[in-house]
Amino acid sequence: MKAATNRALKVLASLVISGFFIWLTLRGTDLRQVWLALRSANYLYLVPYIGVVVAIHFLRVVRWGILLEPVGKPSFQKLNSAGGIGFMALVVMPFRLGELARPLLIAEKGKIRRSAAMASVVVERVVDGIAMALVLIVALLFSTPATKSEATLTWVRGGGLIVFAAFFALLVFLVVAYVKRELAVRVVDRLTRPVSAKLAQKLAGMLDAFIGGLKVVPDRRKIALFFVLTAVYWGINGFGLALLARGFGLQLELAAAFAVLGVLVVGVMIPAGPGMLGTFQGAVIVGMQLFFPEPASNAAIQAYAWVLWAAQFGQQVLFGLYFLALGQVSFGRLWDSSSIEDEEEPADAQPVLGPAEGP
């Protein structure tokens, strides 16, 4: 009963946040003009863009597999299934709680320790966070924003710097924890024990297992491949934004597209409702208005933001539902993965290995 109440409260709170951001993005908008922009758009550009988002899915799966190789080398089929369902959970669950679904799924299917799987996802997110913060900062330097609003530019640049600082701080913590495992666990225990001895024990144990997962590092060639795929992954993302924008009469240059992509990544980090509704559209609109500040472009930008969201959301949900229908995992099981009161690691899971040897 308590779990069901907590879920309901999470969903309600997330819907309120999403509703606020949707109201914020649509405030003062002529919906008739947006409808006309939707009707007059050239949807032929949507065809190659769907190809882009499908390619993005497979790049994410392959890239994640590189991080998991040292602990189990799950097959591509298992990676693809866990990735498809996990990516769907990420967009349909509020507050990005679906982020924890992939470690649960791959641990069950690939007999990999959940702590190691969780470590792989965190490392992936840290790399992406730092990469996109840098992309946003650099893209703003190499593009030419047309907006006259210095306040907007300041907020966007500030957002990029904050995200970079946050993920860089997390990276530093991971490095310190990797080197001084006992110290990191002891600090977490001492900080949380005054609040709750039970919580302190739980968090310290989770952190200890998680740091054990960090000990799993691919060899240098695999690390190089991971970063190459990361560059291709984000490069295709930026190219796709510029491509789809042309279908709405918005000639978005490539450097500007990467700036919009950076703003979008920062925006969807704000906890919101299922589908990242409101924050996704709001971030795209803020990013696009840096380069198309004239009121005449507002309707096209609004239409573009919603179609872009629908294409990405639709691909992730369809893939997730397909793999969900083939597997043995219920959606309620995915909800359970978002709780801190997680289950024990599977007894037959493989032990966490030490760092892989380089060539």
Q: Which residue has the higher pLDDT, 137 or 73?
A: 137
Q: Positive or negative, the Cα torsion across 139, 142, 148, 151? A: positive
pLDDT at residue 343 above 50?
Answer: no
Nearest Cα neighbor of 302 from 32, 15, 18 is 32
Has residue 13 been placed in a domain?
no
pLDDT at residue 40 above 70?
Answer: yes
Has residue 350 been placed in a domain?
no
Q: Quickly state the pLDDT bin for 329 (edges 50, 70, 90).
A: low
Cite the DSSP H helix spans in the chain: 2-26, 31-40, 46-68, 76-92, 101-110, 114-142, 150-179, 181-192, 197-214, 220-246, 254-267, 279-289, 298-326, 331-336
Specify the 3-state DSSP secondary structure of 223.
helix
Query: Do 315 and 299 meet the contact criterion of CB atoms below 8 Å apart?
Result: no
Write down the residue that tokens 């998680």 correspond to. 210
pLDDT in tens, 269-316: 888 888 888 999 999 999 999 999 998 899 999 999 999 999 999 999
Q: Which residue has the higher pLDDT, 219 or 303?
A: 303
The burial of 317, by beta-carbon neighbours within 10 Å (0-12 exposed, 13-18 middle, 19 or more buried), is given as middle
DSSP classification of residue 328: S
Mean pLDDT of all residues in 191-214: 73
Write down the residue that tokens 């709750």 correspond to. 196
Give pLDDT, residue 280: 94
How far is it, in rounded angstroms, from Cα 159 to Cα 153?
10
Has residue 357 been placed in a domain?
no
How far is it, in rounded angstroms, from Cα 31 to Cα 24?
14
pLDDT at residue 2 above 80?
Answer: no
Mean pLDDT of all residues in 197-219: 70
Give pLDDT, residue 333: 64
Query: Do 63 and 229 meet the contact criterion of CB atoms below 8 Å apart?
Result: yes
Least confident of 137-146, 163-172, 272-281, 328-337: 328-337
How far is it, in rounded angstroms, from Cα 103 to Cα 68?
10
How far is it, in rounded angstroms, from Cα 72 to Cα 103?
13
Give pLDDT, residue 75: 86
Has residue 5 been placed in a domain?
no
Mean pLDDT of all residues in 120-146: 88
Has residue 18 been placed in a domain?
no
pLDDT at residue 152 above 50?
Answer: yes
pLDDT at residue 185 above 90?
Answer: no
Has residue 3 been placed in a domain?
no
Give pLDDT, residue 17: 85
Mean pLDDT of all residues in 113-136: 86
Q: How many domains does the chain have?
A: 1
Mean pLDDT of all residues in 156-179: 85
Largest Cα–Cα distance of the chain, in whole Å? 62
Give pLDDT, residue 340: 44
pLDDT at residue 205 above 60?
Answer: yes
Give pLDDT, residue 359: 41
DSSP track, 45-61: GHHHHHHHHHHHHHHHH
pLDDT at residue 39 above 90?
Answer: yes
Least confident of 1-15, 51-65, 127-141, 142-156: 1-15
Has residue 216 been placed in a domain?
yes
How far is it, in rounded angstroms, from Cα 31 to Cα 303?
10
Give pLDDT, residue 109: 52
Long-range (24+ apart) CB contacts under 8 A made by 26-33 are 26/302, 29/298, 29/299, 29/302, 30/298, 30/299, 33/298, 33/299
pLDDT at residue 352 above 60?
Answer: no
Q: Which residue has the higher pLDDT, 247 or 22?
A: 247
Give pLDDT, residue 91: 87
Give pLDDT, residue 4: 65
Has residue 261 been placed in a domain?
yes
pLDDT at residue 341 above 60?
Answer: no
Side chain identity, residue 64: W
Angle, helices 298-326 vs 220-246, to 10°: value is 130
pLDDT at residue 348 above 80?
Answer: no
The domain of 197 spans 37-336
Q: Which residue has the higher pLDDT, 270 or 39?
A: 39
Query: Do 236 and 51 meet the contact criterion of CB atoms below 8 Å apart?
Result: no
Give pLDDT, residue 338: 55
Give pLDDT, residue 217: 63
**325-358 burial code (b ≥16 CB/10 A, e <16):** eeeebeeeebbebbeeebeebeeebeebeeebee
Give pLDDT, residue 236: 96
pLDDT at residue 332 above 90?
Answer: no
Q: State the pTM of this model.
A: 0.84
